[in-house]
Amino acid sequence: MRLSTWLPLTLLIATSSNAATLPLNCAPDNGTMTTPSFGTTDAVFTACSQTTIDSAPSAVYGVLLDFPAYRAWNTFVYAVDVPCNVSRAGDVYVGMPMTFHSSGLLLGANSTSGERVTFVEPGAAPPFAAWRYDGGVLGGVVMDAEHVTVLEDLGDGTTNCVSWETYYGVGALLTLALKANLQTEFQNEVRDLKGRVEALAA
């Protein structure tokens, strides 16, 4: 059992690392990557994807956090249930619960997962956002996971987008069987994000 499992969400966020400590590239050889809430302690594996998007980080950030609109472009997370007072990216807040509806992980079946927003940092250097798996009472005991997206301004009107999720704990050993599928779907999601942002800018 790790101490972070029992910390309140606000304390967990307040004591975690900042944007400057986050990687700007996927780890070589599919290595594990740090997350702002959990670091690398007890990390089992990471799925990561990276691309260059022909738009400013602010535009990418707006699409990334517009969870109600995911159904219009995201082939991996094809729908997101959010609180009734959230209708756009600007409404998203730290601690916000979500339910992700996903396809592509399990053969012939869709899946759902509870998630909770941990970071909304559009003004950080670089900007980033994160959410973590919310498995209820036993979630942190069995498995932790945090999804992070960092948006590096390349200075020429483009953005280096690095998106990853690191899995921790005993439950992650079972999820490890889905690593190849997760990697594929993360690549699809970042591809779709790029397509959506660039289409809106055209």
Give the pLDDT confidence of 17-67 residue by residue, as tens digits: 478 899 999 999 999 999 999 999 999 999 999 999 999 999 999 999 999
Establish whether the linkage from the previous residue to 97 is cis, with ω within 30° of 0.
no
pLDDT of 97-133, one tens digit each? Answer: 999 999 998 887 899 999 999 999 999 999 999 999 9
For residue 49, CA distances in Å to 15, 46, 128, 147, 193 come to 27, 10, 15, 11, 11
CATH fold of 3-201, please? Answer: Alpha-D-Glucose-1,6-Bisphosphate; Chain A, domain 4 (3.30.530)
CA dist., res. 98 & res. 42, Å (int): 25
CA dist., res. 70 & res. 64, Å (int): 9
Domain residue extents for the chain: 3-201
pLDDT of 16-28, one tens digit each? Answer: 447 889 999 999 9
Residues 6+ apart with CB under 8 A from 40: 32, 33, 34, 166
Catalogue the E-assigned strands of 54-108: 77-81, 97-106
